[in-house]
Structure 1
Amino acid sequence: MTQRPIRTVLVDDHALLREGLRSLLDRDEEVVVVGEAGTFEAALAEVALVGPDVVVVDLKLTAGTEYEGLRLIREMTRQHPKVAALVLTTFLDDDLVVRAVRAGAKGYVVKDVDTTELIRAIRTVSTGGSAFDPRSAAIVLRAVSGEHDGTAELTDRERQVLKLLADGKSNAEIGRGLFISESTVKFHIRNVIRKLGVTKRTDAVYVASKRGLI
């Protein structure tokens, strides 16, 4: 018995990209594109109309700074919990990946993924699994191993070090300002980086500022 194709909706604010993606997916018998949309409102209406198995969502649906795709995933998950959301985006950022998962996304892949991997991701989330490319998977793993999001774990001293890092201070300057040794400063920075699930001190400042820690 032939398995039913995976009914898929494409959500991207660029019509040309949707057309190209539809063309690629339509070549595969495993997936059938049953709808597409370019805005938050249109996407919700399309999902309600066609009842897809999977919705492939770009995070940027407007020209502004907001990631409307996150709001769409959150609302779609609330209204249609059986529909799987798969993020397909050009943005690979620790905070965005974690926010997408918290919003309800079942997978996260970047747009340089090849067609075979994308179809595999669609198939995986359609059956209740999770699909992440190697880079986004590493981010999720760091977030999970960091025990929550690190916000509650930062000590007062670590927050002080973060604040001075954000001000552009060197390790030596931070040490002088807090009356601690440079090696102790490095110890605190390593802990902050681990707890925030990032790999660089600049990323730690960025994530901490977005989470309101500094």
Structure 2
Amino acid sequence: MNLRTGVPAGTRDVTGLVRRPQGGQRPRAAVVRVVLVDDHAIMRQGLRAILEREGDLQVVGEAGTPDDAITVVAAARPHVVVLDLKLTSGPQTDGLQVCRRLCETHPGIGVLVLTTFAEDRLVVESVQAGARGYVVKDVDTTELVRAIRAVARGESAFDAHSASAMVRSLSGGGRQDRERLTERELDVLRLLARGLSNRAIGAQLYISETTVKFHVGNLMRKLMVSRRAEAVYAATKLGLL
């Protein structure tokens, strides 16, 4: 019963307002299916316990080796894979190869790297391999859950250090052989963020529309995105705007 109008809950009043579903139920949020890939079983168990407290996250598989990861993901069809970079004994970061293979085989999947490594090089290489996010294992559980949800939505997710590493790589603070945004590409990016068309950007920068298209293509390739809006979003997350 609506105490103000006297209209029973779950019905229409005389004004034609849309009623709620029977029982006051609201549509449930879509469940995000998650696979955990880590060579330590206790780590996977801890992550499962954390994630399964969230009503919209469901752990649908686990793997501890590269081969198992490929098999489990193919069978479980998750939305997000939470992936460690070190899956075998020794110094190898074989998770990079797993990331690349998963992203090539399942283009719609979101890979979130969760690892102990905080090296700039590995952050950049993970993104180049197809990862949408990168966080280190000392991340707060609230931030981890938020990162998983962001990756599931097709967004990027980085902790503070990883985001800084991406900014350094894109703005030229890293090794010289890395691809990074040029000054002209940064100019185009800023105008993209203002919603300008290619023609308007060209007029602002005194370059042809064809040249603008060339720069926009390079921007999207370097930022690992496929749409202009995604380029602006990714650049914002990385602190480039």
TM, length-normalised to structure 1: 0.69
Structure 2 residue aligned with 1:111 = 137
Distance in 2 (alpha carbons) for counterparts of 1:150 and 1:36: 38
Structure 1 residue aligned with 2:20 = none
Q: Deviations over 1:143-164 (max 9, x none)?
A: 11119951289xxxxxxxxxxx
Structure 2 residue aligned with 1:28 = 54
Higher-Rg member (1/2):
2
Distance in 1 (alpha carbons) for counterparts of 2:80 and 2:144: 12
| Alignment partner of 2:112 out of 86, 95, 117 | 86
Distance in 2 (alpha carbons) for counterparts of 1:145 and 1:26: 39
Q: Is the 8 A contact 2:99 2:129 kept in 1?
A: yes
- Could you tell me which amino acid in structure 1 is paired with residue 67 of structure 2? E
For the residue of structure 2 that corresponds to 1:135, the secondary structure is helix
Q: Deviations over 1:57-107 (max 9, x none)?
A: 000001122111100000000000101000000110011111101000000
For the residue of structure 2 that corresponds to 1:60, the secondary structure is coil
Q: CA deviation at 1:122?
A: 0.4
Structure 1 residue aligned with 2:70 = 44
Pairing 1:41-190 to 2, within 5 Å after superposition: 41-146=67-172, 150-151=176-177
For the residue of structure 2 that corresponds to 1:33, the secondary structure is strand
* Bigger helix fraction: 1
Distance in 2 (alpha carbons) for counterparts of 1:24 and 1:86: 16
Distance in 1 (alpha carbons) for counterparts of 2:178 and 2:111: 29
Q: Does 1:8 align with 2:34?
A: yes
- Could you tell me which amino acid in structure 2 is paired with residue 139 of structure 1? A
Could you tell me the percent identity over the aligned residues? 53
TM, length-normalised to structure 2: 0.61
Distance in 2 (alpha carbons) for counterparts of 1:151 and 1:92: 20
RMSD (Å), alpha carbons: 1.6
| Larger RCO: 1 or 2 (CA < 8 Å, sep 6+) | 1
Q: Deviations over 1:90-144 (max 9, x none)?
A: 1100111111010000000011111110010000011110000011000001111
Distance in 1 (alpha carbons) for counterparts of 2:113 and 2:147: 10
Seen in structure 2, the aligned counterparts of structure 1 residues 146 and 36 have a Cα distance that, compared at 3 Å, is: same
- Structure 2 residues not aligned, in runs of 5+: 1-26, 180-241
